[in-house]
Amino acid sequence: MEKIVILTGAGISAESGLGTFRDAGGIWSENRIEDVATPEAFARDAARVHRFYNARRVQAAAAEPNAAHAALARLQAGHPGEVVIVTQNVDGLHEAAGSRGVIHMHGELARALCAACGLRWDAAPEMSPSDACPGCGARACRPDVVWFGEMPYRMEEVLDHLAGADVFAAIGTSGEVWPAAGFAQEAALAGAHCVEINPEASAVASDFHEARRGRASEMVPAWVADLLGGAGDQSL
């Protein structure tokens, strides 16, 4: 049974109205990464960092999954082998579409983390520097997202999945943020067939065996239909 490992990036949520890094006029063009998405920024001005993530949390909570998220949930339900979704996204749109076991390597907007004791809990829609940790009481609450300069979560588990993959797909990711940019190479070394689904060639496009160029909402359902083809016919 083929094991399929999928990496998703900001591009899969673009058509749900959540901007990618590069979108002109998007949140990232108004806020420099150094000011809102690093541990140094949080140490300097926690209120500003909270304001930025509060705005993103509200926006993400109001967003709907699109046809690409839905197609991946169908693939998980219909593929006879394992389908693992690893996402760089901090939104919850895979779960909203019905996907399960999603590995959030960059954390989740919907969760809060105490920098003092490590406790995690469901984030209130609005966080502030004066919030007290429900466990230890410290006023050191932060969004449970991985900032630039921090270690992504669950990397050992992800590398294990890549080592066992028969198919690897990267969807809507620029290939400019590491270590995710190296996943295709890891999977290819393990013998997986690597597919890039993105409107343009990513920074690591040459690591893939196949490219499907276009928007996620069109290309992902088509790819999933190809994968489920036989099984889909049988269930008719």
The site for Zn ion (CB under 5 A) is made up of 114, 116-117, 119, 133, 135-136, 138
Query: Out of 50, 79, 94, 106, which one is annotated catalytic?
Result: 106
**Both tokens of residue 8?**
């998703």
d(CA 86, CA 119): 23
**Both tokens of residue 235?**
């269930």
Tell me which stretch binds ligand NAD (CB under 6 A): 96-104, 119-127, 193-201, 226-234: 193-201
Query: Which of ligand NAD, Zn ion, none binds 83 (CB below 5-8 Å, type-dependent)?
Result: none
Residue 106 bears catalytic tag: yes
Q: Are 176 and 145 in contact (CB under 8 A)?
A: no
**Both tokens of residue 39?**
């541990």
Query: Which of ligand NAD, Zn ion, none binds 133 (CB below 5-8 Å, type-dependent)?
Result: Zn ion
d(CA 3, CA 16): 28
Among 13, 54, 76, 99, binds ligand NAD (CB under 6 A): 13
Give CA separation, 70 vs 15, 77, 99, in Å: 13, 11, 8
Tell me which stretch binds ligand NAD (CB under 6 A): 39-47, 159-167, 169-177, 184-192: 169-177
Q: Is 10 in the site for ligand NAD (CB under 6 A)?
A: yes
Report in angstroms how near the CB of residue 150 gets to ligand NAD at its nearest. 11
d(CA 223, CA 69): 12
Among 18, 71, 141, 165, binds ligand NAD (CB under 6 A): 18
Q: Are 71 and 220 in contact (CB under 8 A)?
A: yes
Residue 32, classed as helix, strand or coil, is coil
The DSSP code for 209 is S
**Residue numbers 69-128 binding ligand NAD by CB under 6 A:** 88-91, 106
Q: Are 65 and 94 in contact (CB under 8 A)?
A: yes
Query: Which of ligand NAD, Zn ion, none binds 173 (CB below 5-8 Å, type-dependent)?
Result: ligand NAD
Residue of 138, 201, 210 lying closest to 174 (CA atoms): 201
Active-site amino acid positions: 106
- Provide the binding-site residues for ligand NAD, judged by CB under 6 A: 9-11, 13-15, 18, 20-22, 88-91, 106, 172-174, 176-177, 198-200, 202, 215-216
